[in-house]
């Protein structure tokens, strides 16, 4: 399914549309910018008892950035911190080795991004934001 270019494109474009339908205001200072193309995103994350209760990206830029933010919101809600870390590792493996990983669901639509090195930064912005926020959360828990 995800090897089909048309299916991947449809997932990315529909995610972009759904992301933009929701009015978004992010209060966090945790943000990332792609210096190559000016894509930018920030992340509001609420964690309660080591589980993600709220996740919201605010992003502007290319459809790959927007889609990756939206798809991460969908897949990570109600996941534990450990589950999120595992999914982030699997996502990086999927991107780097261009292999479909069933647990990533629609994020697999981004499987061929490595073929476009300038887009790798775009689809990894949400990962950097998540790792930063999770690191801060764990630091504050100790």
What DSSP element (H or E) covers 52? strand 51-60
Q: Compute the distance between CA of residue 45 and CA of residue 137 in angstroms, rounded to an integer.
A: 10
Going by C-alpha positions, the residue among 120, 65, 122 that lies closest to residue 98 is 120
pTM of the predicted model as reported, rounded to 2 decimal places: 0.87
pLDDT digits (tens, 9 = 90+) for 83-138: 999 999 999 999 999 999 999 999 999 999 988 888 899 999 999 999 999 999 99
**CA dist 96 to 40, 49, 81, 83, 128, Å?**
22, 32, 23, 20, 15
Instruction: Give the pLDDT of residue 1.
Output: 53
Q: What is the DSSP letter of 37?
A: T
Residue 3 has pLDDT above 70, yes or no: no
Percent of the chain at pLDDT exceeding 70: 96
Residue 31 pairs in a beta bridge with 42
What pLDDT sits at residue 65? 94
> Nearest Cα to 57, choosing from 132, 140, 135, 5?
132
Fold of 5-141: Sufe protein. Chain: A (3.90.1010)
């Amino acid at each position: 399914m995800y090897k089909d270019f048309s299916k991947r494109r449809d997932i990315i474009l529909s995610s972009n549309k759904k992301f933009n339908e929701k009015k978004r205001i992010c209060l966090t200072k945790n943000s990332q910018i792609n210096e190559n193309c000016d894509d930018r995103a920030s992340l509001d994350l609420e964690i309660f008892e080591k589980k993600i209760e709220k996740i919201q990206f605010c992003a502007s830029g290319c459809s790959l950035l927007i889609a990756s933010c939206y798809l991460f919101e969908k897949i990570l809600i109600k996941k534990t911190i450990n589950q999120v870390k595992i999914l982030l590792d699997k996502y990086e493996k999927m991107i780097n080795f261009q292999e479909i990983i069933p647990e990533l669901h629609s994020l697999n639509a981004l499987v061929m991004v490595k073929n476009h090195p300038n887009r790798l930064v775009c689809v990894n912005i949400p990962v950097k934001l998540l790792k930063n926020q999770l690191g801060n959360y764990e630091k504050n828990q100790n």
